[in-house]
């Protein structure tokens, strides 16, 4: 095993300090110093107590990079067939994704205040759907009759549980 301290000469430590205060990343400093890893730079920075940087320090780019092109979610780009191990993979056709149901305060208002319950009044057969801000005194649970074996009423179970087929379809679309 080689002596790790042998690579940190006084000159290299001074250069490390200068590059660190200039705002270079640990990877950039490692490349600049040569014969040292990014992790070794990070370790030395911490041992020297240099972890705090100046607020106005701007990182110096190592090389200009091309920005990734972004596309609007409503206009997906077609996927070109790709070859992998001499097998051409056909693109997966995009299917519309079901809209995500969001609970709004209007839906909260659909449940009468008389049915809403505090944690102290909540019973096993009552819906445990939280309503409102838990830090406020008005916070309540739905309190409607829950589905046997589930913590929620029919309405809130539809929001909370997504059918397995929908989840699998969304995973396929996310990978495409």
Question: Residue 39 pLDDT more than 90?
Answer: yes
Contacts of 118 (CB under 8 A, 6+ apart): 139, 140, 141
The mean pLDDT value of the chain amounts to 73
Tokens at residue 131, please? 């309503």
Residue with tokens 């659909």: 110
Report the sign of the C-alpha dihedral through residues 138, 143, 149, 152, in that order.
Answer: negative
- Domain boundaries defined on the chain: 4-48, 105-175
Coil vs helix vs strand at 145? strand
Strand pairing class (130-131; 87-89): unpaired
Residue-wise pLDDT for 122-132, tens only, equals 888 889 999 88
Residues in the chain: 176
Neighbouring CB atoms inside 10 A of 53's CB total 13
Cβ contact 90:168 at 8 Å: no
pTM of the model: 0.33
- At 105, is the pLDDT very low, low, confident or very high (cuts 50, 70, 90)? very low
Cβ contact 143:115 at 8 Å: yes
Residue-wise pLDDT for 43-76, tens only, equals 998 898 886 665 544 555 555 555 555 555 555 5
According to the model, what pLDDT value does residue 169 have?
72
If you ran DSSP here, which 8-state letter would residue 6 be given?
G
- At 15, is the pLDDT very low, low, confident or very high (cuts 50, 70, 90)? very high
């Amino acid at each position: 095993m080689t002596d790790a301290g042998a690579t940190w000469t006084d000159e290299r430590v001074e250069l490390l300090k200068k590059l660190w205060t200039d705002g270079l990343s640990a990877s950039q400093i490692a490349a600049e110093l040569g014969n040292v890893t990014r992790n070794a730079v990070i370790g030395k920075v911490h041992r020297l107590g240099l972890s705090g940087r100046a607020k106005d320090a701007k990182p110096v780019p190592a090389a200009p990079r091309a920005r990734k092109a972004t596309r609007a979610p409503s206009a997906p780009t077609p996927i070109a067939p790709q070859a992998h191990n001499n097998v051409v993979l056909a693109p997966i056709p995009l299917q519309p994704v079901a809209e995500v149901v969001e609970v709004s305060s209007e839906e909260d208002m659909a449940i009468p205040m008389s049915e809403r319950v505090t944690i102290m009044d909540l019973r096993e057969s009552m819906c445990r759907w939280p309503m409102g801000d838990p830090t406020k005194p008005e916070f309540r649970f739905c309190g409607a009759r829950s589905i046997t074996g589930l913590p929620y009423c029919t309405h809130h179970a539809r929001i909370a549980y997504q059918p397995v087929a929908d989840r699998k379809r969304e995973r396929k679309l996310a990978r495409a």
